[in-house]
Amino acid sequence: METWWVDNLLPLGGMADRICGGMAQVRNAERTTAAEILDRSLRRGRLGHAYLLSGDELHTLEDFSKGFIRALYCERRKEMAADSGAGTAALDGCGECPQCRKVVSGNHPDVHYLRPESKLRQIRMEPTQEFIRRLQTTAYEGRYKLGWISSIDRMNTQAANAFLKTLEEPPPKTVFILLTTEIERVLDTIISRCLRLHFAGNGELVFPTVARGIVGSLVKRALAVPKLGVLEKYRLLDAVVAGLSELRGEIEEAMLLRSPLSSGDKDLDTGLRDKYEVELSSSIESEYRLQRSRVILAIQWFLRDLWLVRSGIIGSTPAFPEHQASVESLAQRISVDQALANLANFEELQRILHTNVQESLAIEVSFLKLHL
Ligand SMILES: [Zn+2]
C-alpha cells in the first residue's frame, strides 16, 4: 500500500511526486499537495485507476473530490492550466462550461455516484451491482468514466467483494474515487489496489466548538457542587442534547449547500430530485454521526486528563490545558478506579452509538454513570 500524508492540503515533502508514476527522481526541495499530485497526473494524462481519499472530515474529502471531478471533465481546463502555468495547486474546473455544469448538477452521464443508504447507512449489494453495471457501459462523452463512492467503509461484505472484482479488473478508462473517514473498516484488499491520499489534521487535537462548549459546561457544573448529583447530571444532559441538535442544524445547512438540490436547476425531474433528497439525508446522517463521535471523543479526552492527574502520571500533555487547574481539583474527588470506569463508560458509548441504538437513551445512561 502506498500512502501519501497530506496535511490539510498544506505542503508536504517531495516524496508525493512518486504518485504520478514515471517520476524516477524525487526532488527533496519540492513541496507538493494532494491537489498538485492529481493536477500533475491530469496534465500528463496518467491517472491512476483508483484513489482512496482518507481523512477526518467527510465534507473535506467530498469537496476535494468534486473539484477533482470538475477538473477531469472541464472543457476549459487546458486553457486554464496554460494560463496558470505549471505547478498550480488549483484542482478544479471552470465551473461554467457545459461539462462542469453537468458535474455540478449531478447530471454528468459518465460520473456515477454510490453512497450509503437506508437507516443502517450501508452500501448494499444491489446498488453496488447497479453502479458497476453503469460503469461498464461506454463513456457517453467518450472520455473518462468516473466511479465515486462516499464512505466506502460502510460497504457490506457482499457488496465489497463484488466491487473488489471490478477494482481488480476495472473497465477501460475508468477512474475510481473512494472516500473514507474510517480507513480501519475498509477491506485491505481494496486499500491495496488504490493510491491513497490521506488528509491529516495538523496533529493537534481539534474538537468541534460544540464539544469544547460541552466540556466547559461539564467542568463548570462539576465545580459548582461537591459531587455531581443526578439533578446536575440531567442539567448537563440538556446542554449536551442542545449542543448536538445545534451541530445537526449546522450540518444540514452546510450539506444542503453542497447538494445539487441547491443548484437552482428547475428542470430537475422528479426521479432525480428524489434521488438527491435521499443522498442528502444520507450525507447529513454520515456527517452528523462523525461529528457526534468527535464530541464524545472530546469528553473522552477530558476524562483522560482527569485520569492522568488522578493516577499521578506526569509528562503527558493535557487535551484541555485551559481546564487543567479545574481538572486537578476535580481529580481529588474520585478514585483511580472511578477515573478508569469513566473512560470505559464513554468508550462503550462510542461503541454502541455505532449501532442503531437510540441516541438520547445511550447518552443519558453514560452521563448518569459518570463519576465526578
Ligand atoms: Zn469547465
**pLDDT tens-digit series, residues 349-370:** 988 888 878 999 999 999 999 9
What confidence score (pLDDT) does residue 82 get? 66
How far does residue 59's CA lie from ligand 1's centre (Å)? Answer: 22
pLDDT classification of 84: cutoffs 50, 70, 90: low
What would the mean pLDDT of 172-189 be, rounded to a whole number?
90
3-state percent breakdown (helix, strand, coil) of the chain, nearest 5? 55, 10, 30
**Could you tell me the strand order of the sheet in which 2-7 lies?**
2-7, 195-200, 50-55, 174-180, 145-149, 111-114
How far does residue 276's CA lie from ligand 1's centre (Å)? Answer: 22
At residue 268's C-alpha, the angle toward residues 265 and 272, to 5°, is 130
What confidence score (pLDDT) does residue 13 get? 27
How far does residue 80's CA lie from ligand 1's centre (Å)? Answer: 9
* Side-chain-facing half-sphere of 371: CA atoms under 13 Å: 19
Do 23 and 171 sit in the same domain of this protein?
A: yes
What confidence score (pLDDT) does residue 192 get? 87
Other beta carbons within 10 Å of 302: 26
How far does residue 76's CA lie from ligand 1's centre (Å)? Answer: 5
How far does residue 337's CA lie from ligand 1's centre (Å)? Answer: 61
What would the mean pLDDT of 23-32 be, rounded to a whole number?
28
Q: Which of 177, 200, 223 is the last residue of a domain?
A: 200
How far does residue 190's CA lie from ligand 1's centre (Å)? Answer: 31
How far does residue 71's CA lie from ligand 1's centre (Å)? Answer: 7
Do 144 and 215 sit in the same domain of this protein?
A: no
pLDDT classification of 33: cutoffs 50, 70, 90: low
Do 229 and 288 sit in the same domain of this protein?
A: yes
Which residues are registered as beta bridge partners of 196?
3, 52
Do 189 and 265 sit in the same domain of this protein?
A: no
Mean pLDDT (the chain) is: 82
How far does residue 100's CA lie from ligand 1's centre (Å)? Answer: 4
How far does residue 90's CA lie from ligand 1's centre (Å)? Answer: 13
Q: Could you tell me the three cell numbers for 331?
A: 481529580
Do 306 and 220 sit in the same domain of this protein?
A: yes
Q: Which of 138, 166, 200 is the last residue of a domain?
A: 200
Model's pTM, two decimal places? 0.58
* Alpha carbon separation from 66 to 69, 188, 251 (Å, rounded): 5, 25, 18
How far does residue 12's CA lie from ligand 1's centre (Å)? Answer: 28
Is the pLDDT assigned to residue 196 strictly greater than 70? yes
How far does residue 98's CA lie from ligand 1's centre (Å)? Answer: 7
Q: How many domains does the chain have?
A: 2
Domain with 187, as residue range(s), is 2-200
How far does residue 167's CA lie from ligand 1's centre (Å)? Answer: 28
Is the pLDDT assigned to residue 135 strictly greater than 60? yes
Cβ neighbours of residue 165 under 8 Å, at least 6 residues apart?
none
What would the mean pLDDT of 71-91 be, rounded to a whole number?
72
How far does residue 101's CA lie from ligand 1's centre (Å)? Answer: 7
How far does residue 72's CA lie from ligand 1's centre (Å)? Answer: 9
Q: Could you tell me the three cell numbers for 103?
A: 458535474
Do 231 and 192 sit in the same domain of this protein?
A: no
What confidence score (pLDDT) does residue 24 get? 23
Cβ neighbours of residue 356 under 8 Å, at least 6 residues apart?
119, 120
Name the amino acid, one letter, at 164. L
How far does residue 300's CA lie from ligand 1's centre (Å)? Answer: 45
Do 139 and 230 sit in the same domain of this protein?
A: no
Can you tell me whether residue 327 is helix, strand or coil? helix
Do 194 and 221 sit in the same domain of this protein?
A: no
Per-residue pLDDT of 234-283, as tens digits, reads: 999 998 999 999 999 999 998 888 788 887 777 778 888 888 888 889 88
How far does residue 99's CA lie from ligand 1's centre (Å)? Answer: 6
How far does residue 67's CA lie from ligand 1's centre (Å)? Answer: 11
pLDDT classification of 90: cutoffs 50, 70, 90: low
How far does residue 42's CA lie from ligand 1's centre (Å)? Answer: 14
Q: Which of 182, 200, 218 is the last residue of a domain?
A: 200
